[in-house]
Amino acid sequence: MKLSFLKRSSLTLHPTAQKLFKLMSEKKTNLCIALDVTEQNQLLEMADELGPELCVLKTHVDILKDFTPDFGDKLKQIAKKHRFFIFEDRKFADIGQTVSLQYHKGIYQIAKWADIVNAHIVPGPGIIEGLKDASLLLLAEMSSAGTVAKGTYTRKAVLLAEKNPKTVMGFICLKKISQKPGFIHFTPGVKLKRGKDSLGQRYRTVEEVLIKNQSDIIIVGRDITTAQKPLKQAALYRERAWEAHVQAIS
């Protein structure tokens, strides 16, 4: 079934998924940028510069060396200005009680500023229960070489999502893994050419991910953030990803 993002917004029970489908459709972007920088000001400046190109901005707040409690509010203001969602890539992986504390408490207070977070399914369904007030992506597959998240494990993630459609809005995965159109598929490990880095990351192309593998959103990090002209590079990825999406549903 080839459905537009707009159509799919009416086929999900998840309020954040609904809004994200609509945003992608209106803003015409299915690009998520991973801003893996270690200084807060650099992150905020890049978010402001690249914001018009993306639908989701992905953070790793725990790599910031100068985090201050006003970070979340500042990022939220930029997200509002450019209309994008904030995805804190925390990869929760503990029992329900602990992840609930990690999500709400501690220095980062993730629940206050992140629209979307993600979780491994290693602990079982309790992790979804512990994060039931979050908008959750389940890590069903990973881009890294030798990952054990495959086969039965991936299928288990899909089953868990389908049982919890009000909490789980989609997946981190390499390809379309659920036939239910309400779930959004996010795929990392994307570059303009296939390849790998020196620490196990594997890259597929935009077209491979969105046309052949039928994913929805590409997550791109260093190939944009370390480019000489990040805005130009982001615009290029945005265009390639949107064209691939249009082709995929036509």
> From the CB of 139, what's the least distance to ligand S5P, in Å?
6
Q: Within positions 142 to 171, which residues make up the interface with ligand S5P, using CB under 6 A? A: 142-144
Q: What is the DSSP string of 17-68?
A: HHHHHHHHHHHT--EEEE---S-HHHHHHHHHHHGGG-SEEEE-GGG-TT--
Is 94 an annotated catalytic residue? yes
Which of 27, 37, 50, 89 touches ligand S5P by CB under 6 A? 89
Is 133 an annotated catalytic residue? no
> From the CB of 1, what's the least distance to ligand S5P, in Å?
26
Is 189 among the residues that bind ligand S5P (CB under 6 A)? yes
Which of 221, 237, 241, 248 touches ligand S5P by CB under 6 A? 221
Q: Smallest Cα–Cα separation from 89: which of 140, 137, 54?
A: 137
> From the CB of 218, what's the least distance to ligand S5P, in Å?
9
Contacts of 229 (CB under 8 A, 6+ apart): none
> From the CB of 172, what's the least distance to ligand S5P, in Å?
5
* Catalytic choice (91, 156, 175, 196): 91
| Integer angstrom CA distances of residue 13 from 119, 170, 227, 232 | 19, 12, 38, 36
Nearer residue to ligand S5P within complex by CB, 36 or 49: 36
Is 17 among the residues that bind ligand S5P (CB under 6 A)? no
d(C-alpha 170, C-alpha 162), whole Å = 10
d(C-alpha 103, C-alpha 202), whole Å = 29
Site string for ligand S5P, 190-219 (x = CB under 6 A): -----------x-----------------x
Burial class (CB in 10 A: 0-12, 13-18, 19+), 228: exposed
Q: Which residues are near ligand S5P by CB under 6 A?
A: 34, 36, 60, 89, 142-144, 172, 188-189, 201, 219-223
